[in-house]
Structure 1
């Protein structure tokens, strides 16, 4: 059988190897060092903010971000229901209560129209809303033009879960630069990887200084070990930061490769009734993943049919996230629904989108999709 084509495998090569080897030979293995300092500044510069701190995962970054926003026991964090579990888990780590909000059908991102009334209702019922969390699904930015205004008017901090969106923009401005703090993930499947890792970015130096303090066990700057608050072992290592620095130099090329794959998919499905690319037309997206939305009543087939067909060619696909309000662990939580997230979960499938796909693999992928479409014409 041919080698498996994955959704979004790490894209690393000689440049990453050279940066990692140089870091090892420097003696700065862990936890901090010059590559970490440089990586933080380079990401901050790329995003257009003044400050950044590297941590062990995107989840750790979200946890710290929500703590800094004021989340804790007795507070509420508003979270999109169409997201990965880590977005909600981070709120629960603080002791806050998550409230779920439905998404837009076009992008899968938080439906801003639902937010103002919800924030008013929560406040009138005596709830303290610590933060609104946005999620840039598949790399397409949320509607920050309206989100920022809604959060500002309600005096609620905005935390950007831009885990999937490094390199994406909204109206020319980078993902991660709109809220109190932005969060990125460098997990192995992300557009830029440090194998595991994440980063917080902010315009506010005080926010990042406090995040760095908490991420290093909240140790006070004295010769002995002194702690006045609970901290965490969350710092990114110098070696992983070196890998990230090499990846950052290739980021634009990796984005362009993913964008070309999305354009290829768009062309394949352009004449297929009842199909569309999720977030199609979002020009600022880094195209981290390409998801296909199918109306089975029109197309005559379902996403599961396509997934099963591609699996026979050893090609990985994945359904859209199962909404958080449908997860057994979150049964009974407060949710504002329109049905959009449930619909996308039922009718969407994510297709291989990695920048590492070579010509032979792309050819196999296209041939497999075309054979499915030919059999369903």
Structure 2
């Protein structure tokens, strides 16, 4: 058994950019949730993606929560949400005591289906906000979704937690809606160990989000609070890691794309394997390389075969509308997301993977097909 191959693990820069900024935080004794690294990380990330302002927060989940709050979502409001995603996308809807309605994917993008979204608008004209996810670094059909949201005068929140570095028609995902969110969790394309960012061109809303994230402390000599607050600000140490990681984002994206192309070239010859969709307007970061299986070999067969060789893989996200906690809420669609879940698998996409590592993964999968003597 070879060394462990991870799905997507933290990868610090070879140049040590991160440590330089962390050292600055220690040298200046600014290790609290404020300081130069926090301010500069907000500025540098916003500039990188083309947004006017950003708020550095403790997680991507916190960023979605504050985006919903900034969009005016309150008790009993309806929020449309991509169903094929991680629960962190949907949980903040419940934090606001709002009501999620889950929207199906389509096969063209694996992301929110504009037709299903249009149907949802007809059924719930009172909807307050839409959360669209750019799954695995694949861009949603964002023009169509933006058009529908503008038509119905509804706020659009882009969950770009998995798509930092992805472009839609030459523009960064996360910058098309009213609010965009990014995650820097340990498995993301760049990481701060934990953290997130809320971005928007509405600078006054970002300033308000910072206020809420700092326990809504009013300007006063004493501790004065006229609004509910949250302990959501990013620390200066963590922000330093983020500043260093941002310097090598393009390098990480290049490696993710290389990994995807390697798998596609090596595995396309196998009948029964289909790859994530590619569209002419989309330049994905390929955060995770995912495939679907259409024959007798099932995702669990591949996962278990890889596990035996100390290689990590994962099923595609289980849709929210069939999760035990969320299944009581409405769902609009035709079971595309369920089909992707049942047939999909995420292959190891760690940016530290070598050619030998990639070949190990490929050989295990090829061996599985060969040993089972599958004929399609």
TM class, shorter-chain normalised?
over 0.9
The match for 1:362 is 358
SS in 1 for 2:128: strand
Native 8 Å contact 2:257 2:285 kept in 1: yes
Please list, as runs of the form range in 1=range in 2, the aligned pairs for 1:301-340 lying within 5 A after superposition. 301-340=297-336
Please list, as runs of the form range in 1=range in 2, the aligned pairs for 1:208-357 lying within 5 A after superposition. 208-281=206-279, 283-296=282-295, 300-357=296-353
1:365 shift after superposition: 2.3
Please list, as runs of the form range in 1=range in 2, the aligned pairs for 1:39-118 lying within 5 A after superposition. 39-118=41-120
Query: Could you list the per-position Cα deviations for residues 168-223 of structure 1 after superposition, in whole angstroms to 9, with x for gaps in the alignment?
Result: 11001111101111000100000010000000000011110110110000111222
SS in 2 for 1:82: coil
Native 8 Å contact 1:106 1:278 kept in 2: no
User: Please, which moves more after superposition, 326-335 or 365-374?
Assistant: 365-374
Cα distance in 1 for partners of 2:20, 2:213 equals 28
Gaps of 5+ in 2: none
Cα distance in 2 for partners of 1:22, 1:226 equals 32
Native 8 Å contact 2:109 2:141 kept in 1: no
Cα distance in 1 for partners of 2:262, 2:359 equals 11
User: Please, which moves more after superposition, 17-26 or 303-312?
Assistant: 17-26
Q: What TM-score results when the alignment is normalised by the length of structure 2?
A: 0.95
Query: RMSD of the TM alignment (CA)?
Result: 1.4
Native 8 Å contact 2:192 2:239 kept in 1: yes
Native 8 Å contact 1:268 1:370 kept in 2: no
Number of equivalences: 370
1:360 shift after superposition: 3.6
1:281 shift after superposition: 4.3
User: Please, which moves more after superposition, 182-191 or 217-226?
Assistant: 217-226
Native 8 Å contact 2:119 2:332 kept in 1: no
Native 8 Å contact 1:167 1:251 kept in 2: yes
The match for 1:139 is 137
User: Please, which moves more after superposition, 281-290 or 157-166?
Assistant: 281-290
Q: What TM-score results when the alignment is normalised by the length of structure 1?
A: 0.95
Cα distance in 2 for partners of 1:224, 1:196 equals 31
Distance 1:281 1:149, change over 3 A: closer
The match for 2:189 is 191
SS in 2 for 1:41: helix
Query: Could you list the per-position Cα deviations for residues 86-130 of structure 1 after superposition, in whole angstroms to 9, with x for gaps in the alignment?
Result: 11101000010000111112332000111123212212xxxx311
